[in-house]
């Protein structure tokens, strides 16, 4: 059967924004011309460059008692060694694994809660792989590696703890005595929190009394999957007499500069950071090993040469998606309404804080307004636990993926109890207090309606879980759905403060723009160019007339805008629209002076300035620019987001699966992904996000799982061979559909799509499996072992009931 046409149709026609067209750097990327960190820091370009290697702990919990580095120091080719007992390093004090947010902030200023749980080169390892103890700088990576092996260390082995339930036991070994000497629980950032109650609204106890049904779920997601990106993290640092030069693929050049300034004391104008293209960081830089900047910097200072640090294959697995567990009681009625949620959220943050606390506290609270606004009674207790596992970090879709997995099944349970169609249950209970018509959220209704049509919901959905016919005698099919809000919009990004753009109109009418951001593959640079061309239509400007300056440089460019939270495309589009207004005003001012008129008497169209009262009295802008003083017109604009709330739009994920009941495998046969983003900035790029997001969404549910040797706590498959990510051969049929139903703030009123492109994927697959065979999986990933155990349990229950 042929696929329906899902070509995106704009709500408001535009020339360049929201259209299907290649990215501005697509050709150069296809030809291999785009420069990444390894390209711009070749040893020939930086004579004398050394290579840094940092010791990775072989133990999950151990302390260095004695260390002899003399053999490493004597190895030919080694130029600097820095140890955990180095006085200069120890004087730096503590740092944090969760340093950056969307804002540029110094050490003493917070936009998010910071927990000072790290030191530079600690003497105690908190997970198997922890960077600690000693670092070297040598002439080749191989010499640096050999030097680390030559370090003679006497270890004191300490008892480890890996799971939340073990970490909370009274006799559990304490992971961070400096954070909490009495427990492995991370203390709340808000000192006013009492008894771990972090949020409450309405009267949840009364809701429970009034309920016809109380539905209870316990769902766990995270701790098993990682980023899987193309480029490894790193930097090159040269600390000269009075200046530090940095090249990096970190996506926040100005924040890197601030971080290095804070821990070296070098003035900001003497710290130069350059970044550019990054290999799809997908959130990991929010909790990146920022400590390696400082270690690399001090090695460079000691050696008097530039030093390069680059993670290897195994080190790239230094964070996983935070493991979150949600125990939820839902008070429900016979007419399909949820009266309230009483929830306990717990997180296994691993060895260090990396956003896990954010997941179980702040993001859960946001969720109750963003998607569960109709549910008036809510109570949330939250706990975050330290363990000796890989730190939980910020992975694409932070927190939202886990919450979608936990809350969506409640509506299926309610549908089973009431006999009301699942889509109707979702319509009744989900949404926000914006975009409402007759009590129904129009964005939510639209994505559900379109998705159901694309997947053929009414025809393919089994009326009862597991009630479909057997295929080939052992396979069953089912259809499922997951819903979630898109993120973010203007209001959610206020902490960015002002962000800058500039437009330079040259005498030949060509354009140079600055909209500094690291290009991670998402296409924020393309959106800035398309928005500039869109808003310079009065000059007949086309995208090919515009040069986007690609590299962020804290000495030469404007302050960069971090490509986080999937907002760069529309934030820069809004800023370009406002900058274009300023450019038009400046052209009119200059030409008015030349024509001896007032600017208010003139206008611009088709690259001509004309007198409103006498349109034949006109001057071509190009002629004026070339035949007067040939001075370019340069516009600088700083924009702050609109401080108003317009809610958020929604996405819906519909999946058809086939389950092999003999061996327990799950195959995704078909998928429809429908996202309402208010205003599409780049149709080709947005659909690419819809498709590419499913590689992560499906992979996390069906194929990806970190494995450990629990005797040592050592990760066993922290490499791209043994860790199974989807390939093109594994990818199913996916139909993307973009819609513009919701209207946000600003000129375009858009919301992000990249992080929200797969937030409902896992929930939809789990729901489809349940519809196919009647087995509900509580802990991600869905594995054959869990499928077969679920089927065995159903057979046992049937046997007991005499079926």
Which CATH number goes with the domain that contains 599?
A: 3.30.365.10
pLDDT at 111 over 70: no
* Lookup: tokens for 576: 């370009």
Same domain, 220 and 340: yes
To which residue do tokens 């840094």 refer? Answer: 52
Cα–Cα distance measured from residue 108 to residue 129, given in angstroms and rounded to the nearest whole number:
29
The residue from 293, 310, 327 where one domain ends is 310
Residue 285 — pLDDT band, cuts 50, 70, 90? low
Q: Give the pair of three-digit tokens for residue 277.
A: 């293209």
Tens digit of each residue's pLDDT (9 = 90 or more) over 504-557: 999 999 999 999 998 888 888 999 999 999 999 999 999 999 999 878 999 999
Q: Are residues 733 and 670 part of one domain?
A: yes
The alpha helices in 703-783, defined as continuous H runs, are 761-773
Tokens of 557: 């460019």
What average pLDDT does this structure show over 726-751? 94
**pLDDT on residue 595:** 96
Is residue 715 located within the same domain as residue 602?
Answer: no
Can you give the pLDDT at residue 302?
A: 97
pLDDT band at 318 (very low <50, low <70, confident <90, very high): confident
Kindly state whether residues 180 and 302 are assigned to the same domain.
Answer: no
121 with 190, same domain: the answer is no
The domain in which residue 702 lies consists of: 431-490+645-800
User: Both 154 and 301 in a single domain?
Assistant: yes
Q: 3-state class of 564 per DSSP? A: coil
| 548, 529 contact by CB (below 8 A) | yes
Helices within 86-192 (DSSP H only): 87-90, 141-150, 164-167
- What is the structure's pLDDT at 719? 86
Q: For position 110, what pLDDT does the model report?
A: 66
Residue 422 near residue 768 (C-beta atoms within 8 A) = no
Name the H helices within 376-462.
400-418, 422-429, 442-455, 457-460
Report whether 67 contacts 124 (CB < 8 A): no
**Residue 418 predicted with pLDDT over 90:** yes
Q: Check whether residue 214 and residue 152 sit in a common domain.
A: no
Q: Has residue 36 been placed in a domain? A: no
Helix (H, G, I), strand (E, B) or coil at 61: coil
Is residue 371's pLDDT more than 90?
Answer: yes
* pLDDT value, residue 532: 98
Averaged over 278-292, what is the pLDDT? 70
Residue 53: inside a domain: yes
Q: Average pLDDT for residues 296-324, to the nearest whole number?
A: 92
Residues 298, 381, single domain; the answer is: no
Q: Evaluate whether residue 595 is within a structural domain.
A: yes
Q: Is residue 10 part of a domain?
A: no
> Is 1 contained in some domain?
no
Residue 627 has a pLDDT of 94
CA distance 763 to 480: 8
Structural domain contains residue 24:
no
Are residues 268 and 134 both part of a single domain? yes
CA distance from start to end of the chain: 38
The number of domains in the chain is 4
Within a domain: 33: no
- Supply the pLDDT for residue 412: 98
Once rounded to an integer, what is the mean pLDDT over residues 787-796? Answer: 96
How many Cα atoms within 13 Å fall on the side-chain side of residue 482?
A: 35
The string of DSSP codes covering 237-303 is: EEE-SS-EEEEE--S-HHHHHHHHHHHH---GGGEEEEE-B-S--TTGGGG--THHHHHHHHHHHHH
Same domain, 258 and 122: yes
* Coil, strand or helix at 579: helix
Q: For residue 424, is it within any domain?
A: no
pLDDT tens by residue, 530-542:
999 999 999 999 9
pLDDT digits (tens, 9 = 90+) for 38-92: 999 988 899 999 999 999 999 999 999 999 999 999 999 999 999 999 999 999 9
Let me know whether 503 and 460 are in one domain: no
Q: Do 172 and 122 have their domain in common?
A: no
User: What's the mean pLDDT in 461-466?
Assistant: 95
Geometric angle at alpha carbon 271, from 270 and 273, rounded to 5°: 145
| 3-class SS string, 498-527 | CEEEEEEECCCCCEEEECCCCECCCCHHHH
Domain end marker among 594, 618, 639: 639
Helix (H, G, I), strand (E, B) or coil at 55: strand
């Amino acid at each position: 059967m042929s696929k329906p046409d899902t070509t995106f149709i704009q709500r408001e026609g535009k020339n360049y924004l929201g259209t299907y067209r290649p990215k501005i750097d697509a050709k150069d990327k296809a030809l291999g011309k785009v420069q990444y960190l390894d390209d711009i820091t070749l040893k020939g370009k930086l004579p004398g460059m050394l290579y840094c290697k940092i010791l990775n702990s072989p133990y999950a919990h151990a302390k260095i008692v004695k260390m002899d580095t003399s053999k490493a120091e004597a190895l030919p080719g080694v130029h600097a060694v820095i140890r955990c007992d180095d006085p200069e390093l120890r004087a730096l004090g503590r740092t944090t694994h969760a340093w950056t947010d969307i804002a540029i902030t110094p050490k003493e200023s917070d936009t998010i809660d910071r927990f000072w749980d790290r030191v530079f080169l600690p003497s105690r390892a908190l997970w198997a792989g922890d960077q600690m103890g000693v670092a070297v700088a040598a002439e080749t990576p191989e010499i640096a590696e050999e030097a680390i092996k030559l370090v003679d260390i006497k270890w004191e082995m300490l008892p480890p703890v890996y799971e939340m339930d073990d970490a909370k036991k009274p006799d559990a070994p304490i992971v961070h005595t400096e954070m909490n000497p009495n427990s492995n629980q991370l203390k709340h950032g808000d000192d006013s929190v009492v008894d771990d109650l972090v949020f409450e609204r309405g009267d949840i106890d009364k809701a429970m009394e009034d309920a016809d049904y109380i539905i209870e779920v316990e769902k766990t997601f995270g701790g098993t999957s990682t980023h899987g990106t193309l480029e490894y993290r790193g930097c090159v640092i040269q600390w000269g007499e009075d200046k530090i030069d940095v090249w990096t693929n970190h996506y926040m050049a100005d924040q890197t500069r601030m971080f290095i300034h804070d821990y070296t004391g070098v003035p900001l104008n003497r710290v130069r950071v350059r970044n550019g293209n990054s290999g799809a960081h997908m959130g990991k830089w929010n909790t990146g090993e920022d400590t390696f900047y400082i270690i690399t910097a001090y090695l460079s200072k000691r050696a008097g040469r530039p030093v390069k640090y680059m993670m290897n294959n195994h080190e790239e697995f230094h964070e996983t998606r935070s493991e979150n567990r949600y125990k939820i009681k839902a008070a429900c009625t016979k007419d399909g309404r949820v009266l309230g949620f009483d929830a306990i959220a717990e997180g296994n943050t691993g060895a260090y804080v990396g956003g896990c606390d954010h997941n179980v506290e702040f993001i859960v609270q946001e969720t109750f307004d963003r998607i569960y606004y109709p549910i008036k009674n809510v109570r949330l207790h939250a706990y975050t636990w330290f363990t000796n596992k890989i730190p939980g970090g910020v992975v694409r879709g932070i927190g939202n993926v886990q919450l979608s997995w936990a809350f969506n099944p409640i509506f299926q349970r309610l549908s089973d109890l009431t006999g009301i169609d699942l889509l109707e249950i979702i319509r009744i209970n989900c949404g926000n207090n914006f975009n409402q018509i007759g009590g129904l959220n129009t964005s939510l209704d639209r994505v559900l309606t379109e998705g159901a049509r694309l997947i053929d919901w009414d025809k393919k959905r089994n009326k009862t879980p597991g009630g479909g016919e057997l295929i080939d005698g052992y396979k069953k099919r089912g259809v499922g759905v997951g819903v979630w809000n898109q993120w973010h919009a203007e209001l959610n990004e206020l902490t960015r403060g002002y962000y800058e753009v500039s437009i330079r109109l040259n005498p030949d009418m060509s354009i140079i723009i600055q909209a500094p951001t690291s290009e991670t593959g998402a296409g924020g640079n393309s959106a800035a160019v398309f928005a500039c061309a869109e808003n310079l239509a009065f000059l007949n400007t086309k995208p090919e007339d515009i040069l986007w300056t690609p590299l962020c440089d804290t000495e030469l460019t404007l302050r960069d805008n971090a490509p986080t939270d999937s907002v760069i495309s529309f934030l820069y589009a809004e800023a370009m629209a406002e900058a274009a207004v300023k450019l038009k005003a400046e052209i009119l001012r200059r030409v008015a002076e030349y024509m001896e008129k007032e600017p208010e008497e003139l206008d611009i169209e088709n690259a001509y300035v004309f007198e409103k009262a006498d349109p034949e009295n006109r001057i071509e802008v190009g002629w004026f620019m070339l035949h007067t003083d040939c001075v370019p017109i340069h516009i600088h604009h700083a924009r702050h987001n609109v401080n108003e709330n317009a809610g958020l739009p929604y996405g819906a994920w519909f999946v058809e699966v086939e389950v092999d009941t003999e061996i327990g495998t799950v195959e995704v046969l078909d998928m429809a992904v429908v996202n309402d983003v208010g205003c599409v900035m780049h149709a080709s790029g947005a659909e690419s996000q819809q498709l590419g997001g499913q590689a992560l969404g499906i992979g996390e549910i069906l194929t990806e799982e970190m494995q450990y040797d629990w005797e040592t706590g050592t990760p066993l498959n922290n490499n791209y061979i043994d860790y199974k990510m989807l390939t093109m051969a594994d990818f199913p049929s996916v139909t993307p559909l973009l819609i513009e139903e919701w209207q946000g703030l600003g000129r375009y009123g858009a919301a992000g799509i990249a992080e929200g492109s797969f937030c409902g994927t896992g929930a939809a697959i789990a729901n489809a499996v349940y519809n196919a065979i009647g087995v509900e999986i509580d802990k991600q990933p869905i594995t054959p072992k869990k499928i077969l155990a679920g089927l065995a349990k159903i057979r046992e229950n049937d046997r007991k009931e005499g079926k």
